[in-house]
Structure formats: C-alpha cells, structure tokens
Amino acid sequence: MTYTLLHGGTVVDVSGQTLTDILIKDGEITAVGNFSHLSEGDIQRIDCTGMLLLPGGVDVHTHLDSPLMGTTTADDFESGTIAAAMGGTTTIVDFAMQTPGSTLLDSLQVHREKAKHKAAIDYGMHMCITDLYDGAIDELPVLRQEGVSSLKIFMAYRGTLMLNDGQMYDVLKGASKAGSQVCVHAENGDVIDRIAEELVAQGKTGPGYHELARPPKTEIEAVERAIRIADMAEAPLYFVHLTTEGSVEAVARARSVGMPVSAETCTHYLTLDRAIYDEPGFEPAKAVLTPPLRTFEHREALWRGLNSGALSVVSSDHCPFCFEDKQRLVGADFRSIPNGGPGVEHRMSVVYGKGVAERKITIEKFVEITSTFPAQQFGLYPQKGHLGVGADADVVVLDPQGVTQISAGSQFQNIDYTLYEGWSLPGEIKKVFSRGKLVAADGQFVGQVGNGKYLQRAGY
Ligand SMILES: [Zn+2]
C-alpha cells in the first residue's frame, strides 16, 4: 500500500472550498483531484464524505518545558505536542527562553535537547532575548542559519525579561540585517509595576487584581511605541497576543501606510470574558495570564481585526501552570502567581466553534488565521499551511455535524484545568494526519512520540 487517498471530502483553502480528493505518498500531498479510478491494491482509501479537509493547524506561540517565574510550564514536548495533535495542530513554533547567564546559541541548544525524541508533531523555535549581552546581536545570523528566524523581546517584566527601548532598537536593527523578524510582547511594564504596587499598598492583593494592574492603555501605549521604534530601525515587527481595540487600530494604521507590521491575537482573547476576575477565592488565578482577558467590546474588535486583516494570526499562547502550582506559588499577592494559561489543544476547536459556527468568520478565514498565515509569517510555507501538491500531508478531517466537549478530565494537556470547562462546541475533529501518518483518530492519540521533526525555518 503506497498511497493514502482522502476521498469524498471538501478541501478548504484561503480562497474557497472544493469537493475533491487528496492523494498522499511518502508524507507529502502528491496530487489533488478525482482519483476514483485508482486501483484498490495500491491505495488505502479513507472515506471523508461530509467532512471538511483543512490544512493542519500551525500554532506559532507555545511555551513547552519552559522556565518561567520560578517554575516550569506543565507540558513538556511530549504531552504538549500530543495535546496539539489531538486538537488538530500539526506544527508548533515554540519559544526557547534565553536562560540567565547563557548565550542565545547555548540556550537554543538546551531547548532543542528538550524536544528531541519527544515531539509527536513538527516544531520550530523562536528565541527569546532577555539579556542583551555584548555579542548577542552577532549571534542573530547564526540563529538564522539554525532555522530560528524570529526573536522575541518583552516590553514588560523589568528585572527578568524586559529590554529597554534602546535595546529593542538594537535587536530590531540586528534582526532585520540577519533576515529575521522580531516578535514583541507589548505592555508598558514599568507603568504596570507602579499600578500593581499601588493596588498592593491598598490591600488589593487577590488574584483578580492582576487584571486591574494591566489596563488596556498599557498595551496600546506599548504597541504604538514599538511601531515607532520599528519604523526608526527600518525593521519588520510582529506583535504577539494583542487584546484591545486600540492596539488593532494602531496596527491597522501602520499597515495602511505600508509598514511591515503584523499581529496575532489568541483564542482566549476572542472568546473569554474578564468576569472571571470577579469570581471569589483563588478562581481568578486560572486567568492570571498576560495581557489579561478583556471586555466584550474588545473581543468584538479582535474579530473585526481578523476580518479586516489587521490581525492575521490566532495562536494559543499555551503557557500552562497547574491551578495547584499557582496556589502553591502565590506568595503575598497576585504579582507572584505564574503568568500563563493552557490552550494548544483547544485553539482549533474553539475558533471553529465560536468563529465559523457562529458566523463571525468564514471557513476560509479560519484556515487563513490558524494555518496559512502563521506558516507564511514564520517561514514554513509552502511546506506547511495549505493542502497543495508538494506540501507536507498535514491534514485535519473535521466533521461540521459533530460536537466537541471540553473538560479538564478528558484533555491531553498535562494540566488540572481548562478555561473552557464544560463547553460544548459545534464541529468535531475526527482525524489528524501529520506528514501522512495518522496521529489522532476519534479522540485517541495514535501517533508516535519522537516522530516530530525540527523545522528549519526560512528568513523574513
Ligand atoms: Zn507567550
């Protein structure tokens, strides 16, 4: 049996839907068309009647096995990539953290070791720069040769992760020269630290105050400043996890005058409300992630931003810490709760169920923002991000008539909660193929740990 034939489904790409077959050989799509004439002996036929065939999800924002705020994220490359595969994501680009006192290249090697023999799907890496030591900029072309063509910097978390504006300018210039792009976490960290101090001084120490310490303007100001600095450095810029209407407007303005600025938002900012911060006890800690969840008006602006093209990517920002660990590490006030939440497993299902099924976006837009654009933005296209000839056979078979139930008890993510607990969503992922191999089928993981390949990404 040399061929696999996905037969009878509707193939979706950014420009439309076609009732057609997909022929797979040696992990790649070899042809798209009508293959009913092929003889049975050569092929494994998979009936996809009534199903949507979508390009495998590309999640460009995950933090697996990552040291952060005195602890480590709860999913390693094994559990994290299995969870991704179960949710229809067949490629991730994970953030390698620069560890204090280490060079960028050494930190990258440490993170690549963590992924080796563990990943169940293909993966690339970004590099986070948290300490701009002498010589760091000289390593950017080497990172680029290693397939790491994107760098992340933080405008928040002074003293641990943050770079100042001058350093940001240096990284932007260096990256641009190396053919790489810079991803920025845009929040005004210094103002946030002051507001947090004021809140704590007033005895407002509970986890829900995390939200008040990070008002929308702290994001919008940082977005506007980063755009101006990138303009001065003549460098491309990508915003991770935007959450506010003002940020979407700032990005749209920059793009309208031809600046190379792109931006993502995340599943939870599109679908979850800030009301969780008003809940009693320690419950709000589940949503202690940055930036915080926002109001309905901001969510609507994010959907509009996706439809207008101001936002081009939806990622998960999967940065899981168990609720139990958040409780253990809380200390005197909300500032010491590890910042992050889970999501790699449910990104595709939630965006489909809340976006496509509720007619906020079309199915073509869904493919664009969950797969095609992230692959293009991060040097993975045309190998990833579409179902054309020559692409890796990463395919999601989705039943639009099916239903997805979400609960912590049944998820594959190695964490004791989900922000979508009890949700029942239209659309069900029936099968997932990674380079032609079945990795998820009817809710079971059937892939192989260690089969995921490191992706050498192209430059910007
Ligand atoms: Zn993140």
Average pLDDT rounded to a whole number, residues 140-152: 98
291 CA → ligand 1 middle, Å? 10
Least confident of 29-38, 84-93, 374-383: 29-38
What are the pLDDT digits (tens) for 108-133?
A: 999 999 999 999 999 999 999 999 99
182 CA → ligand 1 middle, Å? 14
Q: Is the pTM of this model over 0.95?
A: yes
Domains, the chain, in order of start with CATH, read 3-54+389-401+424-445 (2.30.40.10), 56-377 (3.20.20.140)
241 CA → ligand 1 middle, Å? 8
289 CA → ligand 1 middle, Å? 9
1 CA → ligand 1 middle, Å? 42
pLDDT for res 70:
81
184 CA → ligand 1 middle, Å? 10
63 CA → ligand 1 middle, Å? 7
What are the pLDDT digits (tens) for 16-38?
A: 999 999 999 999 999 999 987 87
60 CA → ligand 1 middle, Å? 10
What are the pLDDT digits (tens) for 231-280?
A: 999 999 999 999 999 999 999 999 999 999 999 999 999 999 999 999 99
244 CA → ligand 1 middle, Å? 16
pLDDT for res 35:
87
Phi, psi of 398 (to 5 degrees): -115, 130
Residue environment code for 421-455, b if the CB has 16+ CB neighbours within 10 A, otherwise e = eebebbbbbbbbbbbbbbbbeeeebebeeebbbeb
Percentage of the chain surpassing pLDDT 70?
100
242 CA → ligand 1 middle, Å? 11
6 CA → ligand 1 middle, Å? 35
What are the pLDDT digits (tens) for 219-245?
A: 999 999 999 999 999 999 999 999 999
361 CA → ligand 1 middle, Å? 24
18 CA → ligand 1 middle, Å? 35
pLDDT surpassing 90 at residue 350: yes
290 CA → ligand 1 middle, Å? 8
Per the omega criterion (within 30 degrees of 0), is the bond before 291 cis? Answer: yes
CA dihedral 157, 370, 294, 169 (to 10 degrees): 30
- What are the structure tokens assigned to 129, written together? 């720069």
3-state SS, residue 109: helix
pLDDT surpassing 80 at residue 39: no
318 CA → ligand 1 middle, Å? 7
Helix (H) or strand (E) run with residue 370 in it: none
Percentage of the chain surpassing pLDDT 90?
93
Contact 387, 28 (CB under 8 A): no
Per the omega criterion (within 30 degrees of 0), is the bond before 400 cis? Answer: no
What are the pLDDT digits (tens) for 401-448?
A: 999 999 999 999 999 999 999 999 999 999 999 999 999 999 999 999
331 CA → ligand 1 middle, Å? 23
39 CA → ligand 1 middle, Å? 48
pLDDT band at 329 (very low <50, low <70, confident <90, very high): confident
130 CA → ligand 1 middle, Å? 14
pLDDT for res 1:
60
pLDDT for res 373:
98
Phi, psi of 202 (to 5 degrees): -90, 10
Going by the DSSP 8-state scheme, the letter that residue 389 receives in this structure is: T
What are the pLDDT digits (tens) for 48-72?
A: 999 999 999 999 999 999 988 888 9
339 CA → ligand 1 middle, Å? 9
CA distance 85 to 62: 13
